Amino acid sequence: MAVDYAVIVLYLAGMLAVGWWGMRRATSKSDFLVAGRRLGPAMYSGTMAAIVLGGASTIGGVGLGYQYGLSGAWMVFAIGLGLLALSVFFSARIARLKVYTVSEMLDLRYGGAAGLISGVVMWAYTLMLAVTSTIAYATIFDVLFGLDRTVSIVLGGAIVVAYSTLGGMWSITLTDMVQFVVKTIGVLLLLLPIAVIKAGGFGAMADRLPHDYFAPLGIGGQTVFTYVLIYSFGMLIGQDIWQRVFTARSDRVARLGGTAAGTYCLVYALAGAVIGTAAKVLYPHLGSPDDAFATIVKDTLPVGVRGLVLAAALSAVMSTSSGALIACATVAHQDIWSRLKGAARARRHPAPQAASGTAGGPQRAEPDAAPGGEPDAAPDEVRGNRLFTLLMGLAVIVIASALNNVVEALTLAYNLLVGGLLVPILGGLLWKRGTAAGALASVAAGGLTVIGLMASLGVLANEPIYYGLLASLVAYVAVSLATRPTDQAVLTVWRERLAGREGAPSPLSRV
């Protein structure tokens, strides 16, 4: 195992070195939060695939394959379908908005009334996503070094917090590219064929396992439907995903690069299920399906290769954890802290409304420093975002150390995200009659319904997300039709920005 340990240690040291190098490139707010909006198709597709394929997709995907066979691919398959839908139908428009957060998009579309509450919901989602990703370090470092759970979380979390805080999105982008390559080699090119060969090939696997292991819906039709609702739709609206879309240098890169990443996810989903199915043949009586990945790696791979594949699992966790961390910090700083600070300042020093202003419309446009409409960024903007990344990272490590039920935490996060924000976000993109009042009612109705049903039926029940989405949709349509249409001045700015026309005003200042 000495060689395997050396591979892991060198990999972790390399991540820190890349973070230090990325710090030199993160000289503006745009660099720190969205990598300067300069990523080309290769880097964009690699980093997008890296962030969506985390520990749940790798360790959990293999575990589902162990438990259900090939139909265990549906969870990761739903992630890939969501990323494909986002890339084909929405990513070009999202990239042209030149914003930093989902809440800024809602501000721009609805006239500034929905940003704070949506920011709180999005912050809770990204925080829990970062926490659940960080908890996965406990499993990996226990397999690697036999470390205590808390020590593992602190060690893995500290490395991610360090490189994310140093270089922001530039460091995360560079490390994600390394992680994408490691995952591709370790899981797809090495572990997949070796696992199938060790299990005797597909013929032997089919002979030794029940027929349900090879049925497309062996996991259950209702489970597949729930996966699509939660994960596919979650891909459409998550801050961690949108923030990667914002890094594309053009809408064409966002569309084509995202399509490539989504296709890669579909392949990765099937690979994980096949590996899990092979593990069921080799080790039919494991204590937990989630042990399948580590067990087949330890017992079937040669020295050195084993270290690389374990590094691939570590890569999967780190890429999702770092992406969720910077998304959490961005929302906390941009959508919550800056808005509350602006509101406090406005109460102390109220400013008269301009004669040309409209009620609920834009109050002040941020200055543009570049032809792309990018706001000018002073050094203190970078320091502020770096500080929030550090603070959120420390909070994530503390919560992860105290939390045990990962599945419930992740389900809670996705239910709140999809139930509360899916309808107002997609409604804003697709239906011009949607209003700010409708958006707020939608967030409240969907969020409260999800919370209430989870409290009564259990966090893991399917019904909360079903009825939460229905309540959100009904509230959005009914309240939007019952209230005055969004001001035409607001819609004009929205259409200009959506079309990517230079010179259109930036999103609203935080109030």
- C-alpha–C-alpha distance, residues 303 and 315, integer Å: 19
Confidence of residue 14 (pLDDT cuts 50, 70, 90): confident
- C-alpha–C-alpha distance, residues 217 and 212, integer Å: 8
pLDDT at position 210 over 50: yes
More confident residue, 504 or 237: 237
Quickly tell me which residue has 């009904």 as its tokens. Answer: 474
Q: What are the pLDDT digits (tens) for 446-458? A: 999 999 999 999 8
pLDDT at position 394 over 60: yes
pLDDT at position 75 over 50: yes
- C-alpha–C-alpha distance, residues 507 and 497, integer Å: 9
What mean pLDDT, rounded, does the chain reach? 85
- How much is the pTM? 0.84
- C-alpha–C-alpha distance, residues 279 and 291, integer Å: 10
Confidence of residue 362 (pLDDT cuts 50, 70, 90): very low
- CATH code of 1-336, in short, is 1.20.1730.10
- C-alpha–C-alpha distance, residues 117 and 201, integer Å: 53
Q: What are the pLDDT digits (tens) for 98-136? A: 889 999 999 889 987 666 788 888 998 899 888 888 887
| Per-residue tokens: 302 | 């040669």
Residue 205 is which amino acid?
A: M
Domains of the chain by residue range:
1-336, 405-503
12-26, 48-62, 249-263, range with the lowest pLDDT:
12-26
Handedness of CA 476, 481, 482, 486 (dihedral sign): positive
Quickly tell me which residue has 């500080």 as its tokens. Answer: 387
Confidence of residue 375 (pLDDT cuts 50, 70, 90): very low
Handedness of CA 288, 292, 298, 304 (dihedral sign): negative
Average pLDDT over residues 263-278: 96
* C-alpha to C-alpha distances, 2 to 5, 7, 368, 383, 397, nearest whole angstrom: 5, 9, 54, 40, 28
- C-alpha–C-alpha distance, residues 282 and 276, integer Å: 10
pLDDT at position 21 over 90: no
pLDDT at position 371 over 50: no
| Per-residue tokens: 269 | 């989903």
- C-alpha–C-alpha distance, residues 242 and 102, integer Å: 7
pLDDT at position 459 over 80: yes
Q: What are the pLDDT digits (tens) for 324-353? A: 999 999 999 988 998 888 777 777 777 555
Share of the chain above pLDDT 90, in %: 45
CB atoms closer than 10 angstroms to residue 370:
14
Most confident option among 5-19, 405-419, 437-451: 437-451
Q: What are the pLDDT digits (tens) for 143-199? A: 667 788 888 889 888 988 998 898 889 888 888 888 899 889 989 999 999 999 999
Backbone angles phi, psi at 365, to 5 degrees: -90, 140
Confidence of residue 382 (pLDDT cuts 50, 70, 90): confident
Radius of gyration of the chain (CA): 23
pLDDT at position 65 over 90: yes
More confident residue, 201 or 367: 201
pLDDT at position 379 over 70: no
pLDDT at position 506 over 60: no
Confidence of residue 18 (pLDDT cuts 50, 70, 90): confident
More confident residue, 242 or 370: 242
